[in-house]
Structure 1
Amino acid sequence: MERKATIAKLDQKMAQVIMETILDRGPGVKWDDIEGLKDVKQALMENIIYPQLRPELFTGLRSPTKGILLYGPPGNGKTLLAKAVATECRSTFFSISASALVSKYMGESEKLMKTLFTLAAIQSPSIIFIDEVDSMLTKRNAEENEATRRLKTEFLIQLDGVGSSNTRILVIAATNRPYDLDEAALRRLTKRIYIGLPDAEARAGLMRKLMKQVDSKLSTYEFDQVVQWTEGYSSADLNSLCKEAAMEPIREIPPSKIMELRSPSSVRKVQVGDFQKVLQFIRPSVSKGTIQEYHNWHKSCGGPV
Structure 2
Amino acid sequence: ASRRIKTELLVQMQGVGHDDDKKVLVLAATNTPYSLDQAIRRRFDKRIYIPLPDLKARQHMFKVHLGDTPHNLTESDFEQLARKTEGFSGSDISVCVNEVLFEPVRKTQDAEFFIKTSDGLWVPCGPRQPGAIQTNMQELAAKGLASNITPPPISIRDFDRVLWKQKPTVSKADLEVHERFTKEFGEVIEDF
Q: Structure 1 length as normaliser, TM-score?
A: 0.48
- Compared with structure 1, are the counterparts of its residues 226 and 165 closer, same or farther at alpha carbon in structure 2 (3 Å cutoff)? closer
Q: Which moved more, 1:222-231 or 1:252-261?
A: 252-261
Q: What value does the CA root-mean-square deviation take over the aligned residues?
A: 2.0
Q: Please tell me whether residue 257 in structure 1 is matched to residue 137 in structure 2.
A: yes
Tell me which amino acid in the other structure corresponds to 1:295.
E
Compare the two structures and name the one with the higher helix fraction: 1
Tell me which amino acid in the other structure corresponds to 2:109.
P
Q: CA deviation at 1:149?
A: 2.6
Tell me which amino acid in the other structure corresponds to 2:28.
A
- Compared with structure 1, are the counterparts of its residues 251 and 153 closer, same or farther at alpha carbon in structure 2 (3 Å cutoff)? same
Q: How many aligned residue pairs are there? A: 158
Aligned to 1:189: 44
Contact 1:179 1:297 (8 Å CA) reproduced? yes
Aligned to 1:156: 10
Tell me which amino acid in the other structure corresponds to 2:101.
A
Contact 1:249 1:270 (8 Å CA) reproduced? yes
State the Cα deviation string for residues 186-207 of structure 1 (Å, max 9, x = none): 1111211222211111111111
Distance in 1 separating the partners of 2:13 and 2:26 = 8
Where in structure 2 are the equivalents of 1:140-289 lying within 5 Å? 147-166=1-20, 167-254=22-109, 257=137, 259=141, 260-263=145-148, 266-289=150-173
- Compared with structure 1, are the counterparts of its residues 164 and 248 closer, same or farther at alpha carbon in structure 2 (3 Å cutoff)? closer
3-state SS, counterpart of residue 25 of structure 2: strand
Q: CA deviation at 1:164?
A: 3.5
Contact 2:62 2:78 (8 Å CA) reproduced? no
3-state SS, counterpart of residue 26 of structure 2: strand
Contact 1:197 1:232 (8 Å CA) reproduced? yes
Distance in 1 separating the partners of 2:102 and 2:18 = 54
Q: CA deviation at 1:151?
A: 2.6
Structure with bigger gyration radius:
2
* Structure 1 unaligned regions, length at least 5: 1-146
Contact 1:233 1:286 (8 Å CA) reproduced? yes
State the Cα deviation string for residues 85-137 of structure 1 (Å, max 9, x = none): xxxxxxxxxxxxxxxxxxxxxxxxxxxxxxxxxxxxxxxxxxxxxxxxxxxxx
Aligned to 1:104: none
3-state SS, counterpart of residue 205 of structure 1: helix
Distance in 1 separating the partners of 2:25 and 2:77 = 44
Q: CA deviation at 1:170?
A: 2.3
3-state SS, counterpart of residue 262 of structure 1: helix
Q: Structure 2 length as normaliser, TM-score?
A: 0.73
3-state SS, counterpart of residue 47 of structure 2: strand
Q: CA deviation at 1:263?
A: 4.5
Q: CA deviation at 1:249?
A: 2.1
* Structure 2 unaligned regions, length at least 5: 111-135
State the Cα deviation string for residues 49-87 of structure 1 (Å, max 9, x = none): xxxxxxxxxxxxxxxxxxxxxxxxxxxxxxxxxxxxxxx
3-state SS, counterpart of residue 215 of structure 1: coil
Distance in 2 separating the partners of 1:250 and 1:190 = 49
3-state SS, counterpart of residue 27 of structure 2: strand
How high is the sequence identity, in percent, across the aligned residues? 35
Distance in 1 separating the partners of 2:48 and 2:37 = 17
- Compared with structure 1, are the counterparts of its residues 252 and 182 closer, same or farther at alpha carbon in structure 2 (3 Å cutoff)? same
3-state SS, counterpart of residue 175 of structure 1: coil
Q: CA deviation at 1:262?
A: 3.2
Contact 1:198 1:234 (8 Å CA) reproduced? yes
Tell me which amino acid in the other structure corresponds to 2:78.
F
Where in structure 2 are the equivalents of 1:75-90 lying within 5 Å? none
